[in-house]
Structure 1
Amino acid sequence: MQEENWQSGIVKQGPIKIKKGFGVWKKRWLVYQRASSYGPTRLIVCSKRESFIKHPFGKKSHTIVFMKDVNNVSKGVTKHGETKVTIGFNIAKPYMEFICLEAQEDYWIECLGLGKGKEDTLEDDSFRAYLLPAISLNYSGECVLQIRNKCLTLFSDEMKRQTIVNWPLEVIRRFSKDHDNKIFFLETGRLSTTGECLFNIRSYWFEAMFKKIVEAQAEKLEAESIMSYTANDFDYDKSPTRKDRNAKDDSDEDDYLHPIPVLAGFIIDNTCCDENDDANNGGYLRALSGNNAHTHARHFFPLANTPKLKSTIILFTTCLLSQSK
């Protein structure tokens, strides 16, 4: 599959002679590739053209130079009078010198000069990819895959002018990756617009795509768990005073627990308070007189003040009981 699309993103390629150790010039094949599914804008030096066709992503024997690390491209002359191209880097790396065998030094210098120091401009959630042919989708080729916490979207180019397909995260059945071929597998369910289908997406960033969709699903599950917990959690902020007192609802749903702080030695008197009074959640605190008043804080969970509940609750602490004896 890679051999069919090895030309993706190639701007210029051709035979050269590159300077190696001890001043020896060796024949090589040079490829200048813009940002595509095969990686960022870069130069690839390989032994021959067939080697690049077989390994378009590059291998250990290939010399790969990312153009973001290039800061200077110039033309010079060797001691034998041949025109050479010199590439300087902004990192701790020796400069590269090569001689074009097709007398196209000016064209090489123009291309490399435009691409030097160039970095990828895509967002962190977008990846350049190559969509391999699929049964349920009449599109294949270079594209941009955007992975967000709710959906996956395929765009035709980096400008995102045309949307190829949109997959909500709920319709993704399975996903995996093939490290050898740098392919990201994606299987969709029948509820998606493409139906049940397996998509092969080849990309230099296949591992980053895999991690991104794992993070998106984790965020989605976390959000669902928080919503479920909130829905089932006890609503302590709910106050009976905010309910409609005129509503004639005799169901037991009105009798729910509501915590309020109560001081020992105080009376919560519901009978002495009007139903429409909103003070102290339908009741009021009346201090006990005499030496029975205490200031030790307690928490009490009385039933809400409802039309059904008309009673007086007197709180006695252990201290009060002992004094009464």
Structure 2
Amino acid sequence: MKTFLCLTTFGLFLPFATALADDSADLQDTLNSCYAGKRSCLVDLQGATKTLTRPLKINPDMVTIRNGTFECIMKSGTCFYVSQEGFPRAQQESIHRLENITLHGNKSIDGITMNYTDNQNHNINAEITLSSVSIQGFNRGLSFGDNVWGVDMFNVVIGNGNIGIYTQPGAYNAGERSTFVGGTIYNNAIAGIDEESCWEFDFEGTSFDFNTQQMILRGPTSFTGHIENSETEKPEIVLSALVGVPAGSLYMSPGSTITVDGWNAKNPKQPCYVETSLPYNNMKIPATLYGFGGTKGAVCGPGKVVTWDGQDFRKIATPL
């Protein structure tokens, strides 16, 4: 398509063609050269902005990418696909990472997907360390699939999408403890985290801010940090369960905080703050609470909720 620019000062009409840049092929060639042993596997973009129209296939056993911004403009799929699929196994494995990386996308695609679909090899882990990574505007910011465990994430910010962190249904050989240190999960239209498979997460010093629902958990999660929202007429935290695995539970440290902005204990909008489905859903709440309540009380369902000092919350509960 062509557009025309009118330069009225000079009485000229100059046509110029506009086209979107596409760095997908060049970047994939760079990574493939690394995988083939033809160049360094430390890819430093030195602050450049790159445009992707196709997923970038990242072998987590071999490459580190740092210091760049990615505009992800594909209409389906994912921006970064982290997997060993299609690549020879690295002779000497080492820790690699995405560092000082920003991804911008849209709500029809995912940001970073970690997944390895060959379920015959239990020794392959399709994880890559994330350090100072911002993931903005995606359907699912981080998506974890088969053969992924023990992911370490430092100062990761995920916002303005639909779901911040997502674990895929039926994930195989996956879910062993992954850790977030610092960072913020915020302004996601569906949920901050949505576990569709049982996963173990540690959050250390992390904030969940103004997600429509903060957490949908189907596995055990420990949390030290800050949870804040205004009332959305939905439970902020949903604890569910899957057959044959530990039930969704949330263990918050005493020094964590829960805040509902504009909370009115006499006229709550949310049915409850925590929704549980089984007696095995456990939650330990922090000492500092504001807005921990609802029209049906603070907790819906049969789950067990205890205070930071181990007391049965239901026996002492008043709207907080």
Q: Classify the TM-score, shorter chain.
A: under 0.3
Higher relative contact order (CA 8 A, sep 6+): 1
Of Structure 1 and Structure 2, which has the larger fraction of its residues in strand? 2
Of Structure 1 and Structure 2, which has the larger fraction of its residues in helix? 1
Q: TM-score, normalised by structure 1?
A: 0.23
